[in-house]
């Protein structure tokens, strides 16, 4: 009675509940262990039921959901759509391959050597003339087997704060045919910043892809392999990268984005930054979230090369789990790429199509968003072939059993901007990193 | 099992060390779990550390090459010193703040403890990515709240992100803030276990709150203080997610701690062997730190 | 049984009446002491609460207001759209059930196993127990990333892939839990155990009848910790579970973070939602910890 503990122990006496808890815990741990053995899961679907992994943020899976429901209605085949978070998706695929439980169809961010030998050949879909799929973005192996078809394409995109430009009275190019150079664009943005008292002229995604696009536009090839597979950088690349590092002076661009991971999109959305170098996927979110000022997509600069870094937004693959499911998976994918269904997908997901000859009507109410999509659909066919180099190179590396898990660009240039090393030294380290990971 | 254990212990009391079966039964479950989910995978990892495994396919044994390369890399030493500096700053700050808060929360005199308790607890529930956005909102170099007021008051914006030391300091504060809930919970449980009669005796002797804290609370919760210090040291030396979301180890690579170094030079470049080797070196360092702390703790206890 | 009480009553009994007197004294003449303590508490709470307040208020802001400059604290157009989008983005009600199941089972097992181990480590004096204590500490010393792939292989080989057991079992052993119980039982006087032994009590029944009830505040504290750890686990459940019907809350929340952009207002809303069960657990369990009047002298 003096303490809770002692009082309780007496009241319970023999056979109290409380003493059973730890014992029960230990016992059930053992039981769980035993019972759980053998509860492994089978792999793959059947002719009537498929699993389909995607990775999208809320709201952007609407297109897929619609198609899957429609497919069930038309054919009776049940496609189970599973949304996997982007962070962890490659690891999840990697481990699922080891556990022999890959899905039947997936929209993946990149190929992985561990499962690339389990892929279905999609050449009959890719080569279907009536689909008009852009051959530049297919992942093919040396025998001509098509391993993946992009679900959509993405490219770099330049956004401006139209309100600030208007206030400063600075004009912007209106069509890709009369676009500006990087020098002209930076000069214009600086002028707007000075006239309006904005904080920065530009924020630039901390992304190797965005830097590649800029280097291409300034006539370089970025880190490029020769015929023997050895990487190097050309003079134009060195010049462009030095120019880029110089722009990070806390006036034109804030250093914090490339040195310490500040969010460039949030900075631009604050309304105090003149322009933002990002990608086409921002359109949908800007249409939704920017209400305080007018924004617009403007033609990407060309100095003098009209280019960008064009990638597959996602790569559609089919896994050969068993022959029934593989046939069903291929049938489903063929149905998806039929222009009728594919147009619906592109429209409701806000994708740039990989098939040419479509005229999608995007459901955006925002005029800026409609104009942006019109611009990108005009621009992409104009881009120089270098724009697809990296996308294809990645596939080639995977087929050789290698992969560039992380591009050293971010870290090395972060150090250069922070004054820890020169731009040339950074490029040298990046080239070394490429050679070590995917060279030869 | 239980029966046999009690047979042993049923006989007249002996010296503590003579009991074997009872403790064995008690730790059995954790021994099994330890063997299955720690030893087994750790041995696989240890084997990788002597190979050039890339995560896929076959690998070759390369002897001590990975370890050799690791000790030859100056970035490793930079990361190690930065990690030690971080731990030296974080552990005492977190300890002092959590202990202070736990004491105030347990105090019968403070009003509104139930609401305040939730405020101190919430930061521990946040995911690192949310901690990152909150602290950038406060200490963002360009649009942060603190710099907003500094500039309003006529000062110059403080380089919270581009100065390596200030950037580390922000992480130390953010991590202490986020980890308070954990340490505070341990302290509250410990303080509640201190017999009230001690305080009453001290009160009768005329000891004030400070005297009571230093001569009763602090010695009585010493075992818990030791847990907090040891576990927080280990956690601090493995810190990674908060750095990624706050400054991504930046500016540049100046705030890369060991785990980020392991992650970036090892896993992200497909050098699983190298990453495993570095991890085992980290484990040895942590083990040395823990054993030193255990020895110091025993000396203090026996004094 | 009586003997186990004896050594404790001696110093506990006189403590009781004094304690009552003191708490009465505090309520009448305690204002002088209440002011500094309360002031200190609320200064600390304000410092800690500022980011928390911004976090909660921001979850009611539309995405466009979140990063507008100059900074604002209070939402101009409060909206629940972040919460609604978050809730609809995934099958959260199912995820909550799954996560609760995993958390409850793991927490019970963790508390049980840690209590047993901690007691053995504190009250028995064997060389191999000391070694095992170091081994348990070692489990915290390898970075999670290096263990992930090998641990996955092990759990797969045990046949636990795509089952809750595969999520639960590897998480049961925690160094923190064993350590907490060990340190607690160190403060329980050995005389208590010796007296029971003299009385003829069996080893395990000393543990179950005397020690386990004593350690209730530690159990509850560890339960709060364990619940939080398991609730916020992300990467392991994602790798282990293949069937979306088995997904956990954090998998749903992480899917809000996209490859290229994060919808902060949705993420903040989802974070608030996922936090509520943890706060409830914390409040309920903490009340018992705070209310447990362990007045008896545990340490002589």
Q: What is the distance between the alpha carbons of residues B65 and C62, in angstroms, rounded to a whole number?
A: 54
What pairing do the DSSP bridges indicate for beta strands A200-204 and A273-279?
parallel
CB A54 within 8 A of CB A109: no
Q: What is the distance between the alpha carbons of residues B198 and B121, in angstroms, rounded to a whole number?
A: 29
Q: What is the distance between the alpha carbons of residues A211 and B137, in angstroms, rounded to a whole number?
A: 27
Tally of CB atoms within 10 A around A7: 13
Q: What is the distance between the alpha carbons of residues B228 and B230, in angstroms, rounded to a whole number?
A: 6
Statement to judge: residues B10 and B119 lie in one domain: no
Statement to judge: residues A68 and A207 lie in one domain: no
Statement to judge: residues B127 and B164 lie in one domain: yes
- Spell out, as residue ranges, where chain C has pLDDT lower than 50: 1-28, 295-300
Q: Do C149 and A95 touch (CB under 8 A)?
A: yes
Label residue A222 left, alpha or beta by phi (over 0 means left) and psi (-120 to 50 means alpha). left
Q: Nearest CB to B104: which of C33, C41, C268? A: C41
- Examine the pLDDT at A37 and tell me if it is beyond 70: no
Asked if residue A370 is part of any domain, the answer here is no
**pLDDT-derived band at B96, boundaries 50, 70, 90:** very high
Q: Which chains does B contact via 3+ CB–CB distances below 8 A?
A: A, C
Range list of β-strands (E), A49-187: 49-54, 78-83, 105-108, 139-140, 146-154, 156-161
- Residues from chain A that touch B267, judged by Cβ atoms under 8 A, are 405
Q: What is the distance between the alpha carbons of residues A132 and A339, in angstroms, rounded to a whole number?
A: 9
Statement to judge: residues B11 and B105 lie in one domain: no
Work out the minimum CA distance from B131 to partner chain C, whole angstroms.
Answer: 9
| Residue B10 pLDDT | 41
Work out the minimum CA distance from C213 to partner chain A, whole angstroms.
Answer: 5
* Spans of all domains in chain C: 90-255
Q: What is the distance between the alpha carbons of residues A272 and A270, in angstroms, rounded to a whole number?
A: 6
Statement to judge: residues B125 and B37 lie in one domain: no
CB A79 within 8 A of CB A332: yes
- Examine the pLDDT at A41 and tell me if it is beyond 50: no
Residues A330-379 pLDDT 10s: 999 999 999 999 999 999 888 899 998 888 899 888 899 999 999 998 89
Crossing angle, helix B113-125 and helix B74-106, to 10 degrees? 160
Q: What is the distance between the alpha carbons of residues A337 and A123, in angstroms, rounded to a whole number?
A: 12
Three-state DSSP state, A148:
strand
Taking any CB pair shorter than 8 Å as contact, residues of chain A touching chain B are 23, 25-26, 29-30, 33, 94, 112-114, 199-200, 250, 254-256, 259-263, 266-267, 270, 272, 401-403, 405-406, 411, 414-415, 417-420, 433, 436-437
**What does residue A54 show for φ and ψ, rounded to 5 degrees?**
-130, 175
Asked if residue B209 is part of any domain, the answer here is yes
Asked if residue B74 is part of any domain, the answer here is yes
Q: Nearest CB to C69: which of A6, A99, A271? A: A271
Q: Which residue of A91, A257, A261, A394 is the best one to mutate when testing the B interface, meaning the one whose CB has the most B CBs within 10 A?
A: A261
Q: Which residue of A93, A256, A260 is the best one to mutate when testing the B interface, meaning the one whose CB has the most B CBs within 10 A?
A: A260
CB B54 within 8 A of CB B278: no
Asked if residue A30 is part of any domain, the answer here is no
Residues A200-237 pLDDT 10s: 999 999 999 999 999 999 999 999 999 888 999 999 99
| Residue C184 pLDDT | 92
Statement to judge: residues A144 and A293 lie in one domain: no
- Examine the pLDDT at A61 and tell me if it is beyond 90: no
- Examine the pLDDT at A35 and tell me if it is beyond 50: no
Return mean pLDDT, chain A. 86
Work out the minimum CA distance from C149 to partner chain B, whole angstroms.
Answer: 8
What pairing do the DSSP bridges indicate for beta strands A311-318 and A200-204?
unpaired
List C-alpha distances in Å: C76 to A276, B45, B193, C57, C270.
26, 53, 47, 10, 21
Work out the minimum CA distance from A88 to partner chain C, whole angstroms.
Answer: 7
- Residues from chain C that touch B123, judged by Cβ atoms under 8 A, are 48, 51-52
CB A160 within 8 A of CB A319: no
Domain residues for B30? 1-48
Q: Nearest CB to A254: which of B2, B142, B247? A: B142
Does residue C263 sit at the A interface (CB-CB below 8 Å)? yes
Work out the minimum CA distance from C173 to partner chain A, whole angstroms.
Answer: 11
Statement to judge: residues B278 and B175 lie in one domain: yes
For residue C210, give both structure tokens: 């005397």
| Residue B259 pLDDT | 92
- Examine the pLDDT at B262 and tell me if it is beyond 70: yes
**What does residue A105 show for φ and ψ, rounded to 5 degrees?**
-130, 145
Residues A384-437 pLDDT 10s: 989 989 988 988 888 887 878 778 898 899 989 988 899 999 999 999 989 988
- Residues from chain B that touch C197, judged by Cβ atoms under 8 A, are 9, 12-13
Fold of C90-255: MetI-like fold (1.10.3720)
Q: What is the distance between the alpha carbons of residues A105 and A93, in angstroms, rounded to a whole number?
A: 12
Q: Nearest CB to C15: which of B10, B195, B272? A: B195
Asked if residue A401 is part of any domain, the answer here is yes
Q: What is the distance between the alpha carbons of residues A359 and A49, in angstroms, rounded to a whole number?
A: 32
Does residue B150 sit at the C interface (CB-CB below 8 Å)? no
Asked if residue A377 is part of any domain, the answer here is no
Domain residues for A162? 156-309+385-438
Residues A307-324: what's their mean pLDDT? 92
Does residue B107 sit at the C interface (CB-CB below 8 Å)? yes
Q: What is the distance between the alpha carbons of residues C7 and A322, in angstroms, rounded to a whole number?
A: 71
pLDDT over 90 for what percent of chain B? Answer: 54
Q: Which chains does A contact via 3+ CB–CB distances below 8 A?
A: B, C
| Residue C10 pLDDT | 35
**What does residue A374 show for φ and ψ, rounded to 5 degrees?**
-60, -45
| Residue A275 pLDDT | 96
Question: How many structural domains does chain B have?
Answer: 2
Kindly state the helix (H) or strand (E) to which residue A312 belongs, with its residue range. Answer: strand A311-318
Three-state DSSP state, B284:
helix
Q: Nearest CB to A85: which of C238, C244, C295? A: C238
Residues B185-233 pLDDT 10s: 999 999 988 888 888 888 888 888 888 899 899 998 999 999 999 999 9
Question: How many structural domains does chain A have?
Answer: 2
Asked if residue A28 is part of any domain, the answer here is no
- Name the burial class of residue A357, with classes exposed (0-12), middle (13-18) and buried (19+) by CB atoms within 10 angstroms of its CB: exposed
Statement to judge: residues B38 and B91 lie in one domain: no
Domain of residue B163, CATH code: 1.10.3720.10
Statement to judge: residues A279 and A216 lie in one domain: yes
Three-state DSSP state, B138:
helix
**What does residue A278 show for φ and ψ, rounded to 5 degrees?**
-140, -140
Work out the minimum CA distance from B159 to partner chain A, whole angstroms.
Answer: 9
Sorted by sequence, the CB contacts under 8 Å of residue A367 that are 6+ apart come out as none
Bridge partners, residue A276, by sequence: A159, A203
Asked if residue B53 is part of any domain, the answer here is no
Statement to judge: residues A198 and A221 lie in one domain: yes
Work out the minimum CA distance from B164 to partner chain C, whole angstroms.
Answer: 23
Statement to judge: residues B34 and B105 lie in one domain: no
pLDDT over 70 for what percent of chain A? Answer: 90
Q: What is the distance of C-alpha C257 from the center of its chain?
A: 26
Q: What is the distance between the alpha carbons of residues C190 and C178, in angstroms, rounded to a whole number?
A: 19
Where a domain ends, among A328, A363, A398? A363
Statement to judge: residues B287 and B197 lie in one domain: yes
User: Looking at chain B from residue 57 to 96, which residues have their Cβ under 8 Å from any Cβ of chain C?
Assistant: none
- Name the burial class of residue B155, with classes exposed (0-12), middle (13-18) and buried (19+) by CB atoms within 10 angstroms of its CB: exposed
Q: Which residue has the tokens 């134009």?
A: A236
**What does residue A201 show for φ and ψ, rounded to 5 degrees?**
-80, -35
**pLDDT-derived band at A15, boundaries 50, 70, 90:** very low
What pairing do the DSSP bridges indicate for beta strands A49-54 and A78-83?
parallel
Inter-chain contacts counted by CB atoms under 8 A, chains A and C: 211
Give every strand in the sheet of A78-83, ordered side by side: A78-83, A49-54, A105-108, A311-318, A146-154, A139-140
Q: Which residue of A29, A61, A101 is the best one to mutate when testing the C interface, meaning the one whose CB has the most C CBs within 10 A?
A: A29
> What single DSSP character describes residue B213?
I
Q: Which residue has the tokens 């322009």?
A: A275
Tell which wins on pLDDT, A149 or B195. A149
User: Looking at chain C from residue 219 to 238, which residues have their Cβ under 8 Å from any Cβ of chain A?
Assistant: 234-235, 238
| Residue A18 pLDDT | 45
- Residues from chain C that touch A32, judged by Cβ atoms under 8 A, are 165, 168-169
Residues B286-297 pLDDT 10s: 999 999 999 998
Asked if residue B54 is part of any domain, the answer here is no
For residue C284, give both structure tokens: 């309920």
- Residues from chain B that touch C14, judged by Cβ atoms under 8 A, are 197
Q: What is the distance between the alpha carbons of residues A359 and A371, in angstroms, rounded to a whole number?
A: 14
Kindly state the helix (H) or strand (E) to which residue B145 belongs, with its residue range. Answer: helix B145-152
ipTM of the assembly? 0.87
Domain of residue A164, CATH code: 3.40.190.10
Q: Do C143 and B240 touch (CB under 8 A)?
A: yes
Statement to judge: residues B78 and B133 lie in one domain: yes
Q: Do C148 and A91 touch (CB under 8 A)?
A: yes
Residue C257 C-beta-side C-alpha neighbours within 13 Å: 18
Asked if residue A137 is part of any domain, the answer here is yes
Q: What is the distance between the alpha carbons of residues B246 and A192, in angstroms, rounded to a whole number?
A: 30
Please give, one letter per residue, the 3-state secondary structure of chain C.
CHHHHHHHHHHHCCHHHHHHHHHHHHHHHCHHHHHHHHHHHHHHHHHHHHHHHHHHHHCCCCHHHCCCCCCCCCCCCCCCHHHHHHHHHCCHHHHHHHHHHHHHHHHHHHHHHHHHHHHHHHHCCCHHHHHHHHHHHHCCCCCHHHHHHHHHHHHHHCCCCCCHHHHHHHHHCCHHHHHHHHHHHHHCCHHHHHHHHHCCCCHHHHHHHHHHHHCHHHHHHHHHHHHHHHHHCCHHHHHHCCCHHHCCHHHHHHCCECCCCECHHHHHHHHHHHHHHHHHHHHHHHHHHHHCCCCCCCCC
- Examine the pLDDT at A7 and tell me if it is beyond 70: no
| Residue B57 pLDDT | 78
CB A134 within 8 A of CB A356: yes
Cis preceding linkage at C70, omega within 30:
yes
Please give, one letter per residue, the 3-state secondary structure of A334-349.
HHHHCHHHHHHHHHHH
Kindly state the helix (H) or strand (E) to which residue A316 belongs, with its residue range. Answer: strand A311-318
Closest CA to B177 of B135, B227, B118: B135
Kindly state the helix (H) or strand (E) to which residue A203 belongs, with its residue range. Answer: strand A200-204
List C-alpha distances in Å: C163 to A92, B226, C245.
15, 37, 11
Statement to judge: residues A399 and A415 lie in one domain: yes
| Residue B11 pLDDT | 43
| Residue B185 pLDDT | 93
């Amino acid at each position: 009675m003096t303490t809770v503990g002692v009082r309780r122990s007496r009241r319970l006496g023999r056979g109290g509940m409380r003493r059973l808890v730890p014992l029960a815990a230990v016992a059930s741990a053992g039981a769980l262990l035993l019972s759980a053995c053998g509860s492994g899961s089978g792999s793959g679907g059947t002719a009537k039921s498929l699993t389909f992994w995607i990775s999208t943020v809320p709201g952007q899976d609407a297109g897929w959901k619609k198609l899957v429901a429609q497919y069930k209605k038309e054919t009776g085949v049940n496609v189970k759509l599973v949304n996997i978070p982007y962070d962890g998706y490659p690891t999840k695929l990697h481990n699922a391959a080891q556990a022999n439980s890959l899905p039947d169809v997936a929209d993946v961010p990149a190929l992985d050597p561990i499962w690339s030998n389990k892929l279905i050949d999609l050449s009959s879909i890719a080569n279907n003339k009536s689909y008009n799929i852009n051959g530049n973005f297919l992942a093919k192996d040396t025998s001509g087997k098509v391993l993946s078809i992009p679900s959509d394409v993405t490219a770099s995109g330049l956004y401006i704060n139209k309100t600030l430009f208007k206030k400063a009275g600075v004009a912007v190019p209106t069509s890709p045919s009369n676009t500006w150079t990087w020098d002209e664009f930076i000069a214009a943005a600086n002028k707007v910043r000075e006239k309006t008292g904005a904080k920065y002229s530009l924020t630039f995604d901390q992304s190797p892809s965005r830097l590649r696009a800029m280097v291409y536009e300034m006539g370089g090839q970025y880190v490029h392999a020769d015929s023997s597979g050895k990487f190097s950088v050309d003079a134009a690349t060195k010049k462009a990268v030095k120019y880029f590092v110089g722009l990070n002076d806390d006036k034109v661009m804030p250093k914090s984005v490339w040195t310490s991971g500040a969010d460039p999109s949030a900075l631009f959305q604050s309304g105090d930054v003149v322009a933002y170098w990002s990608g086409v996927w921002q359109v949908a979110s800007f249409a939704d979230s920017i209400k305080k000022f007018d924004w617009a997509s403007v033609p990407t600069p060309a100095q003098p090369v009209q280019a960008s870094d064009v990638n597959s937004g996602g790569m559609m693959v089919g896994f050969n789990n068993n022959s029934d499911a593989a046939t069903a998976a291929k049938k489903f994918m063929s149905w998806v790429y039929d222009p009728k269904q594919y147009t619906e997908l592109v429209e409701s997901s806000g994708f740039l199509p990989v098939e040419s000859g479509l005229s999608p009507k995007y459901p955006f109410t925002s005029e800026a968003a409609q104009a942006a999509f019109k611009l990108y659909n005009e621009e992409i066919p104009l881009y120089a072939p270098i724009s697809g180099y990296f996308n294809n190179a990645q596939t080639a590396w995977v087929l050789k059993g290698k992969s560039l898990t992380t591009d050293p660009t971010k870290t090395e240039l972060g150090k250069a901007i922070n004054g820890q090393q020169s731009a040339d030294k950074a490029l040298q380290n990046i080239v070394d990193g490429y050679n070590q990971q995917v060279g030869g | 099992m239980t029966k046999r254990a009690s047979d042993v212990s049923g006989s007249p009391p002996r010296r503590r060390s003579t009991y074997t079966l009872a403790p064995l039964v008690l730790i059995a479950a954790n021994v099994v779990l330890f063997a299955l989910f720690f030893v087994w995978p750790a041995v696989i990892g240890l084997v990788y550390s002597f190979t050039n495994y890339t995560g896929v396919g076959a690998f070759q044994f390369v002897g001590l090459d990975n370890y050799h390369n690791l000790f030859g890399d100056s970035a490793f030493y930079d990361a190690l010193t930065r990690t030690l500096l971080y731990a030296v700053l974080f552990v005492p700050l977190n300890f002092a703040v959590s202990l202070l808060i736990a004491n105030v929360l347990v105090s019968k005199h403070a009003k509104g403890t139930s609401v305040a308790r939730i405020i101190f607890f919430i930061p521990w529930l946040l995911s690192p990515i949310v901690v990152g956005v909150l602290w950038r909102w406060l200490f963002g170099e360009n649009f942060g709240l603190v710099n907003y007021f500094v500039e309003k008051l006529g000062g110059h914006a403080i380089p919270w992100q581009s100065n390596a030391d200030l950037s580390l300091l922000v992480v130390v504060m953010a991590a202490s803030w986020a980890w308070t809930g954990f340490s505070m919970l341990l302290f509250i449980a410990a303080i509640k276990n201190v017999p009230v009669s001690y305080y009453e005796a001290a009160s009768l002797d005329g000891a004030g709150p400070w005297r009571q804290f230093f001569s009763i609370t602090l010695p009585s919760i010493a075992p818990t203080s030791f847990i907090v210090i040891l576990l927080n040291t280990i956690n601090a030396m493995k810190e990674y997610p908060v750095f990624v979301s706050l400054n991504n180890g930046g500016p540049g690579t100046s705030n890369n701690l060991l785990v980020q170094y392991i992650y970036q030079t090892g896993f992200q470049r497909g050098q699983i062997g190298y990453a495993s080797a570095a991890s085992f070196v980290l484990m040895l360092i942590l083990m040395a730190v823990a054993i030193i702390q255990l020895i110091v703790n025993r000396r203090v206890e026996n004094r | 049984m009586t003997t186990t009480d004896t050594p404790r009553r001696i110093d506990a009994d006189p403590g009781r009446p004094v304690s009552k007197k003191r708490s009465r004294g505090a309520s009448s003449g305690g204002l002088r002491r209440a002011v500094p303590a309360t002031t200190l508490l609320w200064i600390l709470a304000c410092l800690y609460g500022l980011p928390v307040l911004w976090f909660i208020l921001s979850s009611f802001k539309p995405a466009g207001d979140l990063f507008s400059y100059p900074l604002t604290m209070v939402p101009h157009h409060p909206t629940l759209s972040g919460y609604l989008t978050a809730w609809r983005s995934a099958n959260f009600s199912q995820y909550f059930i799954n996560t609760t199941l995993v958390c409850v089972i793991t927490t019970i097992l963790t508390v049980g196993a840690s209590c047993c181990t901690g007691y053995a480590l504190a009250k028995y004096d064997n060389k191999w127990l000391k070694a095992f204590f170091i081994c348990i500490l070692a489990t915290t010393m390898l970075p999670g990333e290096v263990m992930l792939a090998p641990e996955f292989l092990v759990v797969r080989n045990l046949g636990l892939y795509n089952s809750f057991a595969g999520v639960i079992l590897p998480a049961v052993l925690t160094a923190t839990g064993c350590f907490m119980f060990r340190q607690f039982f160190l403060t329980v006087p050995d005389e208590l155990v010796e007296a029971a032994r003299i009385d003829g009590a069996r080893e395990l029944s000393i543990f179950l009848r005397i020690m386990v009830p004593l350690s209730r505040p530690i159990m509850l504290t560890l339960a709060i910790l364990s619940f939080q750890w398991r609730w916020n686990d992300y990467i392991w459940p994602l790798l282990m579970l293949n069937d979306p019907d088995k997904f956990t809350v954090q998998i749903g929340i992480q899917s809000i973070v996209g490859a290229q952009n994060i919808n902060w207002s949705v993420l903040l809303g989802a974070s608030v939602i996922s936090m509520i069960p943890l706060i409830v657990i914390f409040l309920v369990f903490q009340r018992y910890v705070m209310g447990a009047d362990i007045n008896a002298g545990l340490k002589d």
